[in-house]
Structure formats: structure tokens, C-alpha cells
Amino acid sequence: MSKIAPLSGFPELLPAQRTVEREVVASLSRTFELHGFANIETRVVEPIDRLAKGGEVDKEIYVLQRINAEADARAELGLHFDLTVPFARYVLEHAGHLEFPFRRFQVQPAWRGERPQEGRYRQFTQADVDIVGRDELPFHHDVEVMSVMVDALGRLPIPPVSFQFNNRKLIQGFYRGLGIDDVTDAIRVIDKLDKLPADEVATMLVERVGTTPEQAQRCLELATIRVADTSFVEKVRALGVTDELLEQGLEELAAVVDGCRAVAGDRVSVEANLRIARGLDYYTGTVVEIFMAGYERLKSVGGGGRYDALASDGRTTYPGVGVSFGVSRTLVPLIADGVLAGSRPVPSVALVALNTEDDRAASTAVAAALRSRDVACEVAPAPAKFGKQIRFAERRGIPYVWFVQADGSHQVKDIRSGDQVEADPATWTPPPADLRPIIVTTQNTIEENQ
């Protein structure tokens, strides 16, 4: 039997930590629903040839096989590595039963067999929100779906996040207007600005993509434009490149930035960052990456964009636009750093103390009365001395202990303050702040990380 030990890349949360994840998922879900997005869950497996479609990701797929399969049996199923591939398949499979544009959100784990590091796990939960059309999907849905994620993340008690937008049409139109032929290759090189100094990237553009030094210089100038409003439009125009697709991209990006700024509160910043490309080839318009203040080392904590062919069955094409938030990537480090914690590891607000084992029925009746009014509670496991029962509650973070007195009256003690008062199980209600476990944030830590 294998030794009991954590599996690298498969983080697990303790009960109080799990409160953080549950509350975050509940908050995200509630926001998505307020915007009219329906929840779905897909099966976790897909045919391998569908998962491997993207090419570059196939090395990270976990394939499945029954333990007693024939030795030469070919594995046919793998675990999904994101929520986009299964969503595209779900749309194709169930298209006859869906209304388009179809608005869905999905919060599920995904799996990748890659080397684990902070923020990158082998099993990780994502929250995705997408709108998919049949044959066409008007651009205003780009603004809509991005605004929804801005709204959703702005409601979370996490460090401030930054949405950094760009637009593929803008980049492609600019490169085309400059006279660069291999736009895709140029984007791939510019994407290396993350890791390489600008002059090296310029050299690569000349040597690998075949641009002139002047073209390379313009590409770099475009890529350094980063503003928190729509002033990028003027800055791009000042570079003197004209192209129809570029104009369309500028207009779209300006609409996304304006629309998202309108719903962004204090905790979310919205920027046009013309260096953002996102490596994946299928984006065709809006692209976004999301970063968290103090956690830039995680790279993006979310991202997405517009894909004009999310799915296709040969006859019908389904364009989509969506954005994904890395729930595990964000929360596991925040919890590990003590930035977020659960207020207590149990849902119980009160421990109903036990005088003797024979009084269990009386204490159970008190608990039932409290539960009938939605007060979570539990009866003490043993009729220990009251001091011991109070310490039992204390260790679990249960704030109140309930005593059934010998004369049949009741008292409830707030074990934090020591206050003990008479109470009636048919009417007693704790303060709302105590009712359920909540997320505790160390605001200081959040500020320090900025």
C-alpha cells in the first residue's frame, strides 16, 4: 500500500479553506446568473482525438483506461484540460435543444499532466462564462461577456485584478497595413516580449519573420501601448498605419474598454494593453488576460476572447466569445499565503451542550428547533464537564454554546465574549455575521502585495 502523502499538483483544502472556495464559487455563480447565464456541467472525459485537436497541448493530456483492459487496447478517452473543448462539443451535441445565442457558465475541474508549480496544478478548477451563437454572434456580446467577468471578479474579496484587453483584428490589421505577410508568425514573436528584451524580439522579427528593421520597430511601438482608457486609439493612429481591419479592431477594443470601465468598481482596473496576444491561434477579435495585484508571478489568473469558430459540424459554425477565471490558480496561493481564510471549519453556529447521556433527546430537540429556523448546530458528542464542552466548541470555532438548565430553562453563551443569556430555542437567532462561515480577508496582506 502506498504511503499516505500529498500528491504533487493535486492540492486539497482543509474544511475552513474549503469555505473560501465554496463562497467564491457561489459568488461567481450568482453574478453569472444575474446576467442570465445558465449553468451546465459536462462529463469530464472526451475522445482523445478531440482533445488533441489543438496540437500543442496533447502532451499534457491524461488518458483513461480500464484497469483490466487488454494490454494492446488503444485508450480512447482523456480528461479534459480546459472547459472550452467540452463546451464546444456540448454545443454541437445538444444544438437541437439549445436556444442561440446560448449563454452558459461552467465551474468544474480540469486536468493537465504538466509539472506542478505555484498556481499551476494537475487538477484545477476553472470558472468559464461564454456566449455562443449559431452562424453569427454580434460584436456587442464581446462587451457583454467581458463586463460580466469584470462584475463577477469585482465582487470577490481578492486582491485587485486588472483586465488587459487587446484585439486580434487590431494587431492583424496593423501588421497587414505595415506590409508584413506572416502575421501569425509575427504575433508569435511579439508574444515573447514577456521573456525577452525588446531588441532581441526586434532582431527575431527581422530574422525569422522577414520584416524590415523599420517594420519591427513599429511592431514594438504598437506593443508598448498600454493605457487605462481609449486614448490608445490616438496613439495607434499616430504610428501612421492605415488598414480597414485595424480600424475595426480599434473600434471594437475601444467599445470593450469603455463597456468594462463602466461596470468596474474600485477593485478592478481595465486597460488596453496592445502587447497581449494570447498564444492560441483560434482567437479572432477581442482577447483578454487578467492579472492579480501582488501575484504577477502567477502570470494571468484568467483570460479569453472571441473565436469566430468555437465549434463547427461542417454545415453550421458556432462563433463564441468567453472568458475563463482560474479558481484554483487564484485561491490556492491566496489561501496558502493567509490572504484568505474561512472564519471557521464547521457550519455550526451553536453547540448544544449535553448534561448527561440520558439528556441527549432533550438536546437533540433543541437542535431541531434551531435548525427549523435555519440555524446550523450540533449536539455535543459526550456529556463531558461544561468547560470541556466549551473547549470542544472553541477548537471548532463554534461561537455559541447552548445549555439546557436543570429547571428546563435555556441559556446561550457567546464563548468569545463570555456573555451568557437566557434564550428560547423557538426564537433565538444569532447575529447575521455569525450565521454561516464566511471568508476572512487579511486586508493588510492584500495591500502589502500590491
Residues that constitute the known binding site: 82-84, 112, 126, 130, 278, 282-283
For residue 110 the three cell numbers come to 480540469
Encoded one letter per residue, x for contact with a copy of itself by CB under 8 A and - for no contact, window 13-52 reads: xxx--x--xx----------xxxxxxxxxxxxx-xxxx-x
Q: Are 230 and 272 in contact (CB under 8 A)?
A: yes
Distance CA 146, CA 140 (A): 10
Cell of 84: 472550452
Tell me the closest approach of the beta carbon of residue 68 to a copy of itself, in angstroms.
Answer: 5
User: What are the φ/ψ torsions at residue 113 (nearest 5 degrees)?
Assistant: -85, 30
**Number of residues counted as binding a copy of itself (CB under 8 A):** 89
Nearer to a copy of itself by Cβ, of 125 and 167: the residue is 125
Radius of gyration of the chain (CA): 27
Binding mask 253-282 for a copy of itself (x = CB under 8 A): ----------x-------------------
Using CA atoms, how far apart are residues 360 and 364, in angstroms rounded to an integer? 6
Does 134 contact a copy of itself by CB under 8 A?
A: no
Residue 304 in contact with residue 322, Cβ under 8 Å? yes
Q: How far apart are the first and last CA of the chain?
A: 46
Task: Round to whole Å and give the CA distance between 103 and 369.
Answer: 42
How are strands ordered across the β-sheet holding 226-227? 38-39, 102-111, 123-132, 317-326, 302-312, 286-292, 161-167, 268-273, 226-227
**Quick one: cell of 170?**
487590431
For the annotated binding site for L-histidine, the residues are: 82-84, 112, 126, 130, 278, 282-283
Shortest distance, CB of residue 87 to a copy of itself, whole angstroms? 11
**C-alpha cell of residue 406:** 436543570
Q: In whole angstroms, how close is the CB of 235 to a copy of itself at the nearest point?
A: 26
Angle between helices 168-178 and 213-223 (to 10 degrees): 160
β-bridge mates for residue 102, sequence order: 132
**Interface pick for a copy of itself out of 82, 93, 185, 251 (rule CB under 8 A):** 93
Among 2, 356, 417, 444, the residue binding a copy of itself under the rule CB under 8 A is 2
**For residues 328-357, which are near a copy of itself according to CB under 8 A?**
345-348, 357
Residue nearer to a copy of itself on the CB measure, 294 or 437: 437
Which parts of 392-411 interact with a copy of itself (CB under 8 A)?
Answer: 392, 395-396
Q: Which is nearer to a copy of itself, 92 or 440 (CB)?
A: 92
In whole angstroms, how far apart are CA 363 and each of 68, 301, 352, 388? 51, 47, 6, 17
Q: Are 164 and 149 in contact (CB under 8 A)?
A: no
Identity of the residue, 88 or 222, whose beta carbon is nearer to a copy of itself in the bound complex: 88
Nearer to a copy of itself, 276 or 350 (CB): 350
Task: Say if strands 45-47 and 77-79 run parallel, antiparallel, or are unpaired.
Answer: antiparallel
Question: Which of these ranges, 2-10, 156-164, 181-189, 406-414, lies near a copy of itself under the rule CB under 8 A?
Answer: 2-10
Please pick, from the candidates 56, 181, 374, 424, the single residue that binds a copy of itself as defined by CB under 8 A. Answer: 374
Using the contact rule CB under 8 A, the part of the chain among 173-181, 192-200, 276-284, 376-384 near a copy of itself is 376-384
Is 104 near a copy of itself (CB under 8 A)? yes
The residue from 83, 202, 223, 379 that contacts a copy of itself (CB under 8 A) is: 379
Say whether residue 71 binds a copy of itself (CB under 8 A): no
CB of 27: closest distance to a copy of itself in angstroms? 13
Residue 380: exposed, middle, or buried by beta-carbon count in 10 A (0-12, 13-18, 19+)? Answer: buried
Contact between 351 and 386 under an 8 Å Cβ cutoff? The reply is no
